[in-house]
A and B are shown apart, each in its own frame.
Chain A
Amino acid sequence: MTETNQLLRLLKEFPLAETHRPWARRIVDFEAWQGAIDLLAVSDWDFLGLWAEPQASDKEKFQVHMALRDGENTTVVVITLPLEGLSYPAVSGVRPGALRLERSIADLFGLVALGAEDMRPWLDHGRWPVNHPLSEAEPREIVPFEYDFLKAESAEALHQIPVGPVHAGIIEPGHFRFHANGEAVVRLETRLGYVHKGIEALMQGKTLLEASKLVGRVSGDSTVAYAYAFARACEAACDVEAPPRAVWLRAVMAEMERLANHLGDFGAVCNDAAYGIMLAHAMTLKEKVLRAAHKAFGHRLMMDCIIPGGVAHDLGKEGMAQIKAMQREVRRGFERLAQLYDDTPSLLDRTVGTGVTMASLAHRFGTGGVIARASGRSIDARRNPGYAPYDELDFDVPLEIDGDVHCRLMVRVAEIRESLALIERFTDGLPSGPLTRPLPAQEGEGMALVEGFRGEILVWVRIDGSGRILRCFPRDPSWFQWPLLEACIDGNIVADFPLCNKSFNCSYSGSDL
């Protein structure tokens, strides 16, 4: 009997939440939660997310949910622990990716993860006018917290380099604290939360359409993937499927978003290795994708084009022609750039062997996306657990094993080619029919996993009888990628940090919420 089955066997005795779709949600007791954690220590289940909400029967009491996926047979399961008090056993001891989620739950709800290694506030910088905004939301005096950065100690002299929250480039804000010995980085610690907008609180009580707009702005570069995941979660909660044309159009948009972002990242990484010509050409190609998106779907980033129940914008003949023309041009232009990259030793010298991320860490932190696939961890939500229309198709999920900046670029290169091919298949095979299907106003809980350009996005929703959001938890892939950035920079030189950082391209807004 494998460990996998042990976990499912442990959970089988516990009641199912009947309105939770498409995967099972089991309501467990304290012992079983602890038992599940113990089993995680010796099994290969992926940790997908951890979130809290008030109990339905008693709003004064809370419950925590943990989502897990069996890496082998695509089983996804949600485990719920109703709490008597204000604490629950920490998951971060066995799945360290959970640590920042636990710290956020402490900030937002006042719930304590027992046994967690790090209890410092995360999202809460002491600058909100309320305490625990998602529970009692008690008014308080604003006194910014001092943040106790981890210390690095050594017999050799170390110095600190504080960077941010306002950075030198046009990027999002966050604070990086380097401990360095001359040029070599000894420790990097990130402090985030600067762009926390309180999106989870803002979503509560909103209609699905209003909430979809907010979810599409959790991380603007992944607006399609977020709206896609949210729509699928709502449809699961209402037990409705989007019409076939909408399903295919969503995939066209998702691949165009992936294509545009990967092109931008490819150019930007090369630019951070002082190879500006690549950025100029890659950004020109990216602009062509955005303009085609604008012509085809009415918005350059395709914001608010995917809605619960279907899509808000049809693809007409003119739009189709634009996409086809873009595809030809980008395919031709990109191959030239890929050749140029291969043919430039001075560039390869910067990327090969820089910022190595190990597969074992990627697994422990539940890391997905390009970063995982560049480290030999083959996961892609389009394939596992899979969703329409990808589950009807064969497509490549590229894999590299060395985990350095070069491998992350190579995965992107392969995915650009794959996305171009997928866009062609989706537009060629586009079924006809309606664009939306109405969602009944009914109570329900739904969850969805969608592969964005950065990695898998999880969205979980609870909808009330009037079709409004009671609780929504969107989990960005960056939650489990930021910690690996800290790890991969160890022993590299400070000057290679921008290169490593860009090759990760984590979202600040997505994980600050």
Chain B
Amino acid sequence: MTPILKLLAKALLKGPVTEPAPEQAEIQELADKIDASAKVKLGRSLVIREIDAGSCNACELEIHALGNPLYDIERFGIRFAASPRHADVLLVTGPVARNMAEALKRTYDATPGPKWVVAMGDCAIDGGCFKGGYACLDGVDKVVPVDVRIPGCPPSPTDLLKNLLALLETVR
């Protein structure tokens, strides 16, 4: 049997690696709620545009993890878009380096309303460990209005999911 057939056969026999919701009570609870409120607000989907405004790239690693088969964020109807024109939510990381401030503002302006901004990570909230320097603005809210703040350095994928729900409740 060729390697690809082996891999597919294994997936068919053993089923998906995506963690069954009941075992992840927290995530299951989240999934249910996202499903219910997302349907009402956004036609069962939420499209996110990610913007790195000076992050150290650790937050990006954890956002990537959300897409792996264990978390499989797309099953909740949440996906990442390539263009702000298609986005409902801007997920912003980093303390906002001054060199990125204009790009962040322009991306925000390019996003159609209604739109929400999530500041992800300690440094996106208030500059975190990069606070007080000449090169950063110390927080996403210095440039665009922020709706949800997710603390952590970096926040875990579970924290991220939890807070995307908080966002839906905020905008209800």
Residues of A within 8 A of B (CB): 125, 127-130, 133, 137, 144, 165-166, 168-173, 193-199, 201-202, 213-214, 217-221, 223, 264, 277, 280-281, 283-284, 286-287, 290, 300-301, 303, 336, 339-340, 342-344, 507-509, 512
B134–chain A nearest beta-carbon distance, Å: 5
Do A284 and B52 have beta carbons less than 8 Å apart?
no
Please, which residues of chain B bring their CB within 8 A of the CB of A199? 130
In the assembled complex, the Cα of A507 lies from the Cα of B17 at a distance in Å of 31
Do A198 and B134 have beta carbons less than 8 Å apart?
yes
Question: Considering the complex, which residues of chain B in the window 70-101 have a beta carbon less than 8 Å from any beta carbon of chain A?
Answer: 70, 80, 82-84, 94-95, 97-101
Q: Contact check: which of B6, B80, B100, B135 meets A170 at CB < 8 Å?
A: B80
* 7 residue pairs, one from A and one from B, having the closest CB atoms: A220-B58, A198-B135, A168-B82, A283-B68, A220-B56, A198-B133, A340-B3
B71–chain A nearest beta-carbon distance, Å: 8
Do A280 and B69 have beta carbons less than 8 Å apart?
yes
Do B55 and A220 have beta carbons less than 8 Å apart?
yes
Please, which residues of chain B bring their CB within 8 A of the CB of A171? 52, 60
In the assembled complex, the Cα of A55 lies from the Cα of B95 at a distance in Å of 32
B1–chain A nearest beta-carbon distance, Å: 11
Question: Considering the complex, which residues of chain B in the window 30-84 have a beta carbon less than 8 Å from any beta carbon of chain A?
Answer: 50-65, 67-70, 80, 82-84
In the assembled complex, the Cα of A197 lies from the Cα of B52 at a distance in Å of 13
B115–chain A nearest beta-carbon distance, Å: 15
Nearest-CB residue, chain B, relative to A199: B130
A132–chain B nearest beta-carbon distance, Å: 10
Please, which residues of chain A bring their CB within 8 A of the CB of B67? 283
Known: A196-B99, A220-B60. 8 other contacts (CB 8 A): A125-B99, A166-B51, A197-B54, A202-B133, A344-B3, A509-B55, A509-B56, A512-B97
Residues of B within 8 A of A (CB): 2-4, 6-7, 17, 50-65, 67-70, 80, 82-84, 94-95, 97-103, 107, 129-130, 132-136, 153-154, 156
Q: Contact check: which of A133, A172, A193, A342 meets B55 at CB < 8 Å?
A: A172
Given known pairs A194-B97, A290-B65, the reply for A220 and B154 (CB within 8 Å) is yes
Do B58 and A303 have beta carbons less than 8 Å apart?
yes
Interface CB pairs A-B, < 8 A, 14: A125-B98, A133-B135, A170-B60, A171-B60, A193-B99, A195-B54, A202-B129, A213-B129, A220-B61, A220-B154, A284-B68, A287-B70, A300-B156, A509-B54
Do A195 and B55 have beta carbons less than 8 Å apart?
yes
Please, which residues of chain A bring their CB within 8 A of the CB of B101? 127
Q: Contact check: which of A125, A170, A287, A303 meets B68 at CB < 8 Å?
A: A287
Nearest-CB residue, chain B, relative to A285: B68
Q: Contact check: which of A221, A344, A512 meets B58 at CB < 8 Å?
A: A221
In the assembled complex, the Cα of A201 lies from the Cα of B98 at a distance in Å of 15
Do A287 and B57 have beta carbons less than 8 Å apart?
no
Given known pairs A280-B68, A344-B4, the reply for A127 and B56 (CB within 8 Å) is no
Given known pairs A194-B103, A336-B3, the reply for A201 and B134 (CB within 8 Å) is yes
Please, which residues of chain A bring their CB within 8 A of the CB of B60? 170-172, 220
Please, which residues of chain A bring their CB within 8 A of the CB of B7? 277, 281, 336, 340
Please, which residues of chain B bring their CB within 8 A of the CB of A280? 68-69
In the assembled complex, the Cα of A15 lies from the Cα of B37 at a distance in Å of 72
B90–chain A nearest beta-carbon distance, Å: 10
In the assembled complex, the Cα of A340 lies from the Cα of B5 at a distance in Å of 9
In the assembled complex, the Cα of A158 lies from the Cα of B62 at a distance in Å of 39
Q: Contact check: which of B58, B84, B98 meets A127 at CB < 8 Å?
A: B98
A194–chain B nearest beta-carbon distance, Å: 5
In the assembled complex, the Cα of A281 lies from the Cα of B69 at a distance in Å of 8
B67–chain A nearest beta-carbon distance, Å: 7
Do A137 and B134 have beta carbons less than 8 Å apart?
yes
In the assembled complex, the Cα of A461 lies from the Cα of B14 at a distance in Å of 52
Do B82 and A214 have beta carbons less than 8 Å apart?
no
Given known pairs A127-B98, A194-B103, A195-B99, the reply for A217 and B68 (CB within 8 Å) is no
Given known pairs A217-B129, A287-B70, the reply for A127 and B2 (CB within 8 Å) is no
A171–chain B nearest beta-carbon distance, Å: 7
Please, which residues of chain B bring their CB within 8 A of the CB of A340? 3-4, 7
In the assembled complex, the Cα of A280 lies from the Cα of B72 at a distance in Å of 10
Do B69 and A284 have beta carbons less than 8 Å apart?
yes
In the assembled complex, the Cα of A198 lies from the Cα of B6 at a distance in Å of 50
Do A169 and B82 have beta carbons less than 8 Å apart?
yes
Please, which residues of chain B bring their CB within 8 A of the CB of A193? 99
Do B69 and A172 have beta carbons less than 8 Å apart?
no
In the assembled complex, the Cα of A29 lies from the Cα of B84 at a distance in Å of 54
Please, which residues of chain B bring their CB within 8 A of the CB of A300? 62, 156
Nearest-CB residue, chain B, relative to A174: B52
Please, which residues of chain A bring their CB within 8 A of the CB of B56? 217-220, 223, 509
Please, which residues of chain A bring their CB within 8 A of the CB of B82? 168-169
In the assembled complex, the Cα of A194 lies from the Cα of B97 at a distance in Å of 7
In the assembled complex, the Cα of A127 lies from the Cα of B143 at a distance in Å of 14
In the assembled complex, the Cα of A79 lies from the Cα of B26 at a distance in Å of 57
Do A509 and B57 have beta carbons less than 8 Å apart?
yes
B169–chain A nearest beta-carbon distance, Å: 25
Please, which residues of chain A bring their CB within 8 A of the CB of B154? 220, 301
Q: Contact check: which of B61, B63, B98, B102 meets A221 at CB < 8 Å?
A: B61
In the assembled complex, the Cα of A194 lies from the Cα of B95 at a distance in Å of 12
Please, which residues of chain B bring their CB within 8 A of the CB of A213? 129
Please, which residues of chain A bring their CB within 8 A of the CB of B130? 197-199, 202, 214, 217
Do A170 and B63 have beta carbons less than 8 Å apart?
yes
A203–chain B nearest beta-carbon distance, Å: 10
